A and B are shown apart, each in its own frame.
Chain A
Amino acid sequence: MKKLFFFAALVGLLQTVNAQKYITRTGYIRFFSTTSVEDIEAKNYQFTSILDAATGELVFKGLMKSFQFPKALMQEHFNEKYVESDKYPNAEFKGKIKDFKSEILKVGKVVEVMVEGDLTMHGVTKKVSEKGTVELKADGKVVAKSQFKVKPEDYSIKIPSLVRNSIAEVLDIFVDIEYSPLEKK
């Protein structure tokens, strides 16, 4: 028993010693809503995220005000009335890649993974579990992509009845991140 304990602790220690973290400050996240009335699309090019390649842990943080809409008025409504970005400026995700092993990151191989964790938006935190892909590129960067669905209602985002038909109940989210190795200071 003692041997097992010692061995497990050693493995744990080795993992922290080998930690390579990846970071992005220009993460791309797009969301899309389609209804019979109109299609709405918003793009955010300024999400920040860190991926810990030793443990598969993942954190995201982004400013709601950085979502760009095709019309200035849509953007104002989004911030003022729906997500109330003055009260809740950021969207955050804290989670990890399920069953992560550092061997998953192999150069040139696109690996399907399951990401689970807590997504916080508009002051509401929900557990999410979604599919994604990761790929280690030859230049040392990691590309992570995911596509999943989000219900604004789940995050207490209320759409006023006057515009209820212009915004879908379920939105498509597209995540496309290119991580660069985080230089240790």
Chain B
Amino acid sequence: MKYFLVFTILFNSFGLIAQEDLMNLLNEETASEEKKKIVYTTATFKSTRIINSHSIENPGKGVMQFIIHHRFGRINSGWREFFGLDNANIRLGFEYGINDWVAVGFGRSRNEKLYDLFAKAKVLRQSTGSLKMPLSLDVVSTVGINTLKAIPGRENEMNLVRRMSFAHQLLIARKFHEYFSLQLMPTWVHRNLVPKRTDENDVFAIGAGTAIKLTRSVRLTGEYHYVLSKETANQFYNPVSIGIDIETGGHVFQLMLTNSIDMVDNLIVPKTAGTWRNGDIHFGFNVNRVFTIVDYQKRQQKKLLKAQQKG
């Protein structure tokens, strides 16, 4: 009886050991495929904008994103202006992910009646696994067309080319940790026409943005651009912004406080006329909503199903 009991116990524990062995065998068998896998970092930022400026994120392939940007007036406008809430600058924009690495967008802002068109391309993507890339790198270029009415009597001085401005940026970002992402953005803004002869057509700046995770749906964000071009830096201020991103099922709400009333880099970087020190602070928000236009997931599923049927 004793031997039988011992034997039964041993036999049962062999069962558990055998399952562990089986798992090890599975790991061995699939090791070669596992080694080839590249794991791309996702959600470095929750939206395609950090606060005002572009983040390295794009809408997904076949996905259309609609953004409403709203910036109220300055809080120091006093109670008659309802602390800036009476005044507003708005941008409505659409962005679309053409494929995994290129997105295009189009929008219109109330300030300067500016139409903007941009293209953002992912050059490098942060990843681990078989390909280790420590950073994500994007290139984004925005063309802005100011459609303000020309001064009466001087219409022939204005043409399409003179209304245009360009902003080119390199976005270099890293998701250091689930809780912390950082982005650097050297920026070059070129204005075809500037008000005074002494104004700079080319303005250079270096910007930084960050996102800090507070909860699964909420992140704290910050953004700062340091204007390098002296003449512009003397006339205008560095845009400084702080905000909160709130993500629900299909929307990302971005609330913010900023000294810049503009929403397109062509204007934000060289023309921020307010400063935090004076209380020239604008409360604002962005609302992001995504729509799937082309269902690439379905196409991929069909492909994988075929692979399964074969193997």
1/0 contact string of A139-162 vs chain B (CB within 8 Å)? 000000000000000000010101
1/0 contact string of A63-85 vs chain B (CB within 8 Å)? 10100111111011101110000
CB within 8 Å for A50 and B42 given contacts A45-B301, A45-B307, A162-B217:
no
1/0 contact string of B3-36 vs chain A (CB within 8 Å)? 1100100010001001110110111011001000
Alpha-carbon separation in the docked complex, A5 to B5 (Å): 11
Q: Which of B185-235 contact A (CB under 8 A)?
A: 216-217
Q: Enumerate chain A residues within 8 angstroms of B301, measured Cβ to Cβ.
A: 43, 45, 68
Q: Enumerate chain A residues within 8 angstroms of B19, measured Cβ to Cβ.
A: 57, 59, 94-96, 117
- A: interface residue count bin: 35 or more
B297 CB within 8 Å of chain A? yes
Q: Can you list 5 residue pairs at the A/B interface with Cβ under 8 Å?
A: A26-B304, A50-B22, A81-B216, A158-B216, A163-B249
For A12, give the chain B residue with the smallest CB separation: B11
B248 CB within 8 Å of chain A? yes
Alpha-carbon separation in the docked complex, A28 to B311 (Å): 12
Q: Enumerate chain B residues within 8 angstroms of A45, measured Cβ to Cβ.
A: 301, 304-305, 307-308
Q: Enumerate chain B residues within 8 angstroms of A162, measured Cβ to Cβ.
A: 217, 248-249
Instruction: Say how far B52's CB is from chain A's closest CB, in angstroms.
Output: 23
Question: Which residue of A52, A58, A158 has the most chain B CB atoms within 10 A of its CB atom?
Answer: A52
Complex contact A96–B308 (CB within 8 A): no
B71 CB within 8 Å of chain A? no
Overall SS of chain B's interface = helix
Alpha-carbon separation in the docked complex, A87 to B179 (Å): 13
1/0 contact string of A37-59 vs chain B (CB within 8 Å)? 00000010110111010010111
Alpha-carbon separation in the docked complex, A63 to B34 (Å): 10
Q: Enumerate chain A residues within 8 angstroms of B39, measured Cβ to Cβ.
A: 65
Which of A's residues lie within 8 Å of B, judged by CB?
Answer: 1, 4-5, 8, 12, 21, 23, 25-26, 28, 43, 45-46, 48-50, 52, 55, 57-59, 61, 63, 65, 68-73, 75-77, 79-81, 86-87, 92, 94-96, 117, 158, 160, 162-163, 166, 178, 180, 182
- B: interface residue count bin: 35 or more
Q: Enumerate chain B residues within 8 angstroms of A65, measured Cβ to Cβ.
A: 39
B298 CB within 8 Å of chain A? yes
B157 CB within 8 Å of chain A? no
Complex contact B297–A70 (CB within 8 A): yes
Complex contact B297–A73 (CB within 8 A): no
Which of B's residues lie within 8 Å of A, judged by CB?
Answer: 3-4, 7, 11, 15, 18-20, 22-23, 25-27, 29-30, 33, 37, 39, 42-43, 60-63, 178, 216-217, 248-250, 290, 292, 295, 297-298, 300-301, 304-305, 307-308, 311
Alpha-carbon separation in the docked complex, A70 to B42 (Å): 18
Instruction: Say how far B227's CB is from chain A's closest CB, in angstroms.
Output: 35
CB within 8 Å for A4 and B4 given contacts A59-B22, A72-B297:
yes
Complex contact A59–B249 (CB within 8 A): no
Q: Enumerate chain B residues within 8 angstroms of A25, measured Cβ to Cβ.
A: 29-30, 33, 311
Instruction: Say how far B163's CB is from chain A's closest CB, in angstroms.
Output: 36
Complex contact A48–B18 (CB within 8 A): no
Alpha-carbon separation in the docked complex, A112 to B230 (Å): 79
Instruction: Say how far B254's CB is from chain A's closest CB, in angstroms.
Output: 16
Alpha-carbon separation in the docked complex, A109 to B180 (Å): 55
Complex contact B307–A26 (CB within 8 A): yes
Complex contact A182–B29 (CB within 8 A): yes
Question: Which residue of B4, B63, B308, B311 has the most chain A CB atoms within 10 A of its CB atom?
Answer: B308
